[in-house]
Chain A
Amino acid sequence: MNAIPAWIIVPVALLMIVSGVLTLIGSIGLLRLRTFNERMHAPTLGMTLGVFCMVLASTLVATVLQGRPVLHEFLISLFLIMTAPVTAILLMQSAIRRQGGRRPE
């Protein structure tokens, strides 16, 4: 951590704080909501926007430090955006089947 210019520090710190708060809200929602069909929604907040903000902050720092665009960290965000719905669909189908085949009203 040397020689990061001052104008980049503020947005990076803001993005890190936003990512931490969003992921914490998602995890608390996973703990606090009542039924499984409600709990399904909470962690996706951290899975999409939390990871995206963190990756954006990391990309900004690496780009400024190396003096060239460093974009490979977006692979994580891209991969999670592609794969999170697959797990969600499989889990929801399995939950519906185990609740006796009826859809939640």
Chain B
Amino acid sequence: MMLLLNWAGVFALLCFSLGLLCAALRLMRGPTAEDRVLALDTVYINGMLILLVLGLRFEEGLYFDVALLIALFGFVGSAALAKFLLRGEVIEP
């Protein structure tokens, strides 16, 4: 039974890594700037999911904190980039 959980973890890690690769390709290729911001969003979501799987596999509580921090700062980064694309300034006077 432990083997099933192990292989499910490996499968999930493989899926998230492939998703990370797809998002990185879109990040390099993307025709518009909005595409790149969206790809950055997907990159940090996939990285956060990889950290959650690792935390489940190693039974370590520290991975959750790292994942929460990635979610927080990823949102701040992509929202600031989107606001810059929209207005030309991040924080308006």
Contacts and interface: CB of A to CB of B under 8 A. Distances in A.
A79 B73 CA distance: 12
Contacts, number: 159
A71 B91 CA distance: 35
- Secondary structure class of chain A's binding surface, majority of residues: helix
Interface residues of B, number: 54
28 contacts: A9-B1, A12-B8, A13-B7, A14-B8, A17-B12, A19-B12, A24-B15, A24-B16, A26-B42, A27-B18, A28-B19, A30-B23, A30-B42, A36-B32, A36-B34, A43-B23, A46-B45, A47-B45, A50-B49, A54-B12, A54-B53, A75-B68, A76-B71, A79-B71, A87-B79, A90-B82, A91-B34, A94-B82
A23 B15 contact: yes
Interface in B40-61: 41-42, 45-46, 48-49, 52-53, 55-59
B26 A90 contact: no
Given A30-B38, A46-B45, A76-B48, A90 B79 contact: yes
A51 B79 contact: no
Nearest to B57: A1
A61 B11 CA distance: 18
